[in-house]
């Protein structure tokens, strides 16, 4: 026998309480931020659930079969609204992953409208409502299968969105936690609701139709927790909300179970007082949580600032180290030759030897200038106030750019006995998209490195060794998908395998490179990496010790992104 209160079935009363709770939480979502789409769709889910639960209660309560038919159509429409709203919500929560095209929006809209028509059209999906031994029964036609398919698609689509966002590598820890709460909350409600309100009626069992909405309280609790960004730290907020909601519901039930009118008014007054107290309690806890969040935010900023200070301190130490080592060599030569000039020793030397000393003075001065420029460039690239010349990106012929750089190095390579050439191809490669000034600087730097660390027959004042094997530097251009790959391959000294990952860091050089060429700054490859990545490209190294090195540069052929090296450096 089913218990009744004021001639209302206890099951219907619980359904009304469920509807009231969903309605309150839906309004609370809008009250938090009525302009935010996430809150709007959450509110639609909650309000649709309200209509669904209330419709089921009224369907069960009314004794008129025609009125029951109307309420049946209403709660079926409400369920359509739940599916559509939750699917829309999944595209936005906790962030918008991709844009849905208007075609798919129109397709889904037409599908929804067709299911709405099937649901409300007289005799189409709902044939009739009649009395059974256990209550009122709804006879459904085969069109109900389309209704089941529609709602199932909405659920699969929504859960699929959440899974894709959860496994997305760019999603933050907080967003993952939010997705977990939404997923768990809705999967529990969905399993419960679809079992009793979707699939059992499909099999002809309408006896437990009233059970479905009960678990939506769990769903709404999880969603509320996630949407209002209470995160891990704010667990006391959701706990307070749940506790307050339970106290309010118990107070209301207690009032409805009153045996007399006086007792009812007394307990109903207590119910109003509990609502006021709960609102004040939740507001107090929210205020406390916001203050804690602000403190936590400030702590994170201080921690980040401390890390930056440590990096700056390390950079300062590296700068002092590189300055003391790399600057000292050319300065020592300049001082030595200058001393010889002041003391008159240079005048006593043969003309050829005297010219060689003066040439070394000039070369070391140039080298000193290059090292200083490298240090200043690298320092500026790490400074958010760095300003570079504005230069619009353009389409650049990669072959012409490489050939120009090769011509610039011809005098050096001829003196060293190195073959530097571009491998010709019958194919015509598409132009790369970027800023010519910076790409030429990056590629020149890589070719210059290959020349410096590839011993050959000849020597100059910058090299420490030669060998009986001809130095060869070959440059090739290939295309892979929408990228042009430029490779610079030499048969030089190579790079120790364990040192390759660190070569693109500031003030870093290979250990064998220092032995062969003393005056390097260790900043060239850092600058190269900044420039290439600023063009949305990649640079990497393959090398074998004593056999040679290949630098690879991948640059986009077509890019709809704005190429701005200054912006990349600032945001790096």
Cβ neighbours, 10 Å, residue 522: 24
pLDDT at 116: 93
Residue among 479, 357, 367, 354 at smallest CA distance from 428:
479
Tokens of 391: 């230069």
Which residues sit opposite 556 in a β-bridge? 483
Place of tokens 């839906």: 26
The answer to whether 571 and 512 have CB atoms below 8 angstroms apart is no
Tokens of 114: 């067709």
The rounded distance, in Å, linking the Cα atoms of 381 and 562 is 19
**Packing angle of the helix pair 10-32, 235-256 (nearest 10 deg):** 140
**Least confident among 135-139, 312-316, 412-416, 551-555:** 312-316
What is the tally of helices (H) and strands (E) in the chain? 18, 11
What is the residue-wise DSSP string for 114-169? Answer: HHHHHHHSTTTSEEEEEEETTEEEEEE-TTHHHHHHHHHHHHHHHHHHHHHHHH-T
The rounded distance, in Å, linking the Cα atoms of 357 and 353 is 6
Residue among 325, 337, 336, 330 at smallest CA distance from 462:
330
Q: Can the peptide bond before residue 94 be classed as cis, meaning omega within 30 degrees of 0?
A: yes
| Mean predicted confidence (pLDDT) in 407-436 | 83
pLDDT at 234: 46
pLDDT tens digit sequence for 351-399: 777 777 777 777 777 767 766 766 666 665 555 433 333 456 788 888 8
The rounded distance, in Å, linking the Cα atoms of 545 and 541 is 13
pLDDT at 297: 77
Alpha carbon 220 to its chain's center: 27
**Packing angle of the helix pair 524-534, 436-452 (nearest 10 deg):** 150
Place of tokens 């490298």: 374
pLDDT top residue among 309 and 141: 141
pLDDT at 390: 43
Largest Cα–Cα distance in the chain? 127
- Pick the most confident of 114-128, 286-300, 391-405: 114-128
Which residues sit opposite 422 in a β-bridge? 475
* 543 three-class SS: strand
Q: Has residue 493 got a pLDDT over 50?
A: yes
The answer to whether 502 and 522 have CB atoms below 8 angstroms apart is no
The rounded distance, in Å, linking the Cα atoms of 498 and 519 is 23
Tokens of 225: 């927790």
DSSP assignment, residue 211? S
Q: Has residue 276 got a pLDDT over 80?
A: yes
pLDDT tens digit sequence for 117-132: 999 999 899 999 998 8
The rounded distance, in Å, linking the Cα atoms of 141 and 202 is 9
The rounded distance, in Å, linking the Cα atoms of 237 and 186 is 20
The rounded distance, in Å, linking the Cα atoms of 468 and 457 is 6
In the chain, the domains with their CATH numbers are 4-229 (1.20.1070.10), 327-381 (no CATH), 382-571 (3.30.565.10)
pTM of the entire predicted model = 0.46
Q: Has residue 555 got a pLDDT over 70?
A: yes
pLDDT tens digit sequence for 145-165: 999 999 999 999 999 999 998
- How far apart, in Å, are the Cα atoms of 545 and each of 146, 462, 494, 541? 68, 21, 4, 13
Q: Has residue 63 got a pLDDT over 70?
A: yes
pLDDT at 231: 46
pLDDT top residue among 556 and 143: 143
């Amino acid at each position: 026998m089913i218990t009744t209160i004021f001639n209302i079935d206890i099951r219907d009363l619980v359904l009304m309480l469920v509807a009231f709770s969903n309605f309150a939480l839906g309004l609370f979502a809008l009250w938090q931020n009525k302009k935010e789409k996430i809150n709007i769709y959450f509110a639609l889910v909650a309000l649709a659930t309200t209509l669904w639960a209330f419709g089921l209660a009224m369907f069960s309560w009314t004794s008129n079969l025609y009125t029951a038919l109307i309420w049946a159509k209403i709660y079926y429409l409400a369920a359509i609204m739940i599916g559509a709203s939750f699917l829309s919500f999944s595209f936005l929560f906790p962030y918008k992953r991709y844009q849905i095209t208007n075609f798919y929006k129109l397709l889904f809209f037409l599908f929804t409208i067709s299911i709405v028509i099937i649901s409300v059209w007289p005799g189409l999906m709902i044939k009739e409502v009649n009395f059974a031994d256990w209550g009122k029964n709804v006879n459904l036609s085969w069109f109900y299968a389309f209704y089941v398919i529609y709602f199932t698609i909405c659920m699969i689509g929504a859960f699929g969105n959440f899974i894709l966002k959860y496994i997305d590598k760019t999603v933050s820890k907080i967003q993952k936690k939010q997705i977990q709460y939404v997923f768990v909350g809705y999967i529990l409600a969905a399993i419960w609701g679809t079992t009793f309100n979707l699939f059992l009626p499909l099999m002809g069992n309408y006896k437990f139709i009233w059970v479905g909405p009960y678990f939506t309280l769990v769903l709404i609790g999880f969603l509320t927790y996630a949407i209002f960004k209470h995160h891990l730290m704010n667990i006391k907020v959701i706990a307070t909300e749940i506790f307050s909601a339970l106290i309010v519901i118990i107070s209301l039930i207690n009032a409805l179970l009153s045996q007399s009118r006086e007792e009812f008014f007394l307990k109903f007054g207590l119910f109003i007082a509990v609502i006021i107290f709960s609102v004040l309690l939740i507001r107090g806890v929210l205020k406390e949580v916001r203050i804690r969040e602000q403190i936590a935010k400030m702590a994170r900023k201080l921690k980040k600032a401390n890390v930056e200070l440590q990096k700056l301190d390390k950079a300062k130490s590296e700068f002092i180290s590189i300055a003391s080592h790399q600057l000292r060599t050319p300065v020592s030569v300049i001082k030595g030759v200058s001393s010889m000039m002041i003391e008159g020793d240079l005048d006593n030397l043969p003309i050829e030897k005297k010219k060689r000393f003066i040439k070394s003075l000039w070369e070391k001065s140039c080298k000193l200038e290059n090292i200083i420029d490298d240090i200043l460039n690298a320092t500026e690239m790490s400074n958010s106030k760095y300003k570079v010349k504005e230069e619009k990106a353009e389409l650049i012929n990669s072959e012409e750019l490489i050939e120009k750089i090769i011509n610039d190095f011809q005098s050096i390579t001829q003196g060293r006995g190195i073959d530097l050439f571009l491998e010709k191809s019958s194919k015509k490669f598409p132009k790369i998209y970027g800023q010519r000034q910076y790409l030429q600087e990056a590629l020149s730097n890589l070719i210059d490195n290959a020349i410096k660390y590839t011993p050959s027959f000849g020597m100059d004042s910058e090299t420490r060794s030669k060998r009986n094997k001809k130095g060869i530097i070959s440059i090739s251009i290939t295309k892979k998908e929408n990228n042009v790959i430029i490779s610079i391959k030499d048969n030089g000294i190579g790079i120790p395998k364990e040192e390759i990952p660190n070569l693109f860091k500031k003030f870093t050089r290979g250990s064998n490179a220092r032995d062969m060429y003393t005056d390097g700054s260790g900043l060239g490859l850092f600058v190269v990496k900044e420039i290439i990545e600023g063009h949305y490209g990649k640079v990497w190294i393959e090398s074998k010790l004593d056999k040679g090195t290949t630098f690879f540069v991948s640059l986009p052929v077509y890019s709809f992104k704005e190429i701005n090296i200054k912006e990349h450096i600032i945001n790096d």
